[in-house]
Amino acid sequence: MAGVAPVAVGYAGLKDRHAVTRQSFSVQLPGRADPDWAALAIPGVSVISATRHNRKLKRGAHRGNRFRIRLRDVRGELDQVETKLLTIRERGVPNYFGEQRFGRDGQNLALAEALFAGRRMPRAQRGFALSAARSELFNAVLATRVADASWDRALDGEVWMLDGSHSVFGPEPWNADLAARLAAFDIHPTGPLWGRGELRSEGQVRALERAAIEPGRALAEGLQRAGLEQERRALRLGARDLVHEWLPDGGLVLDFQLAQGAFATTVLRELCDWAEFSA
C-alpha cells in the first residue's frame, strides 16, 4: 500500500475559518512504516483514524458534506422561521455559489478581470480567478430564474442534471415522467458554467441565459479565450435530512447534508428574510 489517509478533527484552516471540521487527506509513504499519528503536534488537530490505501485522495473526491451549524441571537417571527425551514425541506434552495468563491471583498473577480486583461499569474491564482468568473455568470442566470420563480421548475429547452452527479440530459419534451422525477428531487434544472461552444439549452432557456450573462460579456469572453468548455450546474439544491433544534438561549441549531460543490451559506441566506442571527 502506498499511502496513509488519516482523518483530522478540529482544524478549520482549509475552508471554514471559524468551524470545527473533519478533513480527510493522503500522505504518501511508499514502503515505509506508519508514523506515530498520536504524536502529531498541531494545535487544534487530533487524528481520528489512519488507514493504508493504494490510491491517494484527490481534491473533490467526496460525495458531499454534513453541516451542524449553531445560529445565535436569532430574532424574528419564529413561526415564520419554522415555515421557511419546512419550505426548504420540501423545495430546496437556489443553488448559488457562496460568497467565499469570490474571495474577500470580491478579490477573485478582480483577479479574473486582470487575468483577462493579460496579467500573468500562478496556476492556483489563475484557477481562483476562472472559478470566480464562472460562478459570477452562473449566479446571474440563477438570479434571473429566481426572479421569475422558475429556478425549480421546467421551462422550454431545459437541460436536466441527475441528483448527486454531474450527468446531464435534454432538452426533451416535458412529460409526466420528468414532472415526477423533478418532484422527487431525482433531477434538477441547470444553468451554464460558461466556456467555449454552444449552450446546450434551447428555446426559452437559451434566450434567458444569453440575456442574463450579457452584462458580464467580458467575463464570458475571457472564459472562452481561456479554453474552458461549456458545462452545467444544478439550479436547485436539496438540503438533505434537514433537522433543527431551538435552544433555551434562543439559538437555533441546523443539521443537514449538501452535495459536493454546494455551499451551506446558500441555505442560511434563505432564512435571512425571516430572521436575523449571528453564526
Query: Which residues does the annotation mark as catalytic?
Result: 16
Write the CB contacts of 56 (distance below 8 Å, at least 6 apart in sequence).
Answer: 2, 3, 26, 28
Angle of helix 123-147 relative to helix 203-213, nearest 10 degrees? 120
Q: CB count, 10 Å around CB of 69?
A: 17
- Per DSSP, what are the bridge partners of residue 70? 253
Query: What are residue 121's phi and psi, to 5 degrees?
Result: -150, 160
**In this structure, is the dihedral angle defined by the CA atoms of residues 150, 154, 160 and 164, taken in order, positive or negative?**
positive
The HSE-up count of residue 94 (CA atoms within 13 Å, CB side) is: 21
CB 196 within 8 A of CB 227: yes
Largest CA distance in the chain: 61
Distance between CA atoms of 65 and 48, rounded to whole angstroms?
17
CB 70 within 8 A of CB 112: no
CB 219 within 8 A of CB 137: yes
CB 233 within 8 A of CB 74: no
CA 77 to centroid of chain Cα atoms: 29
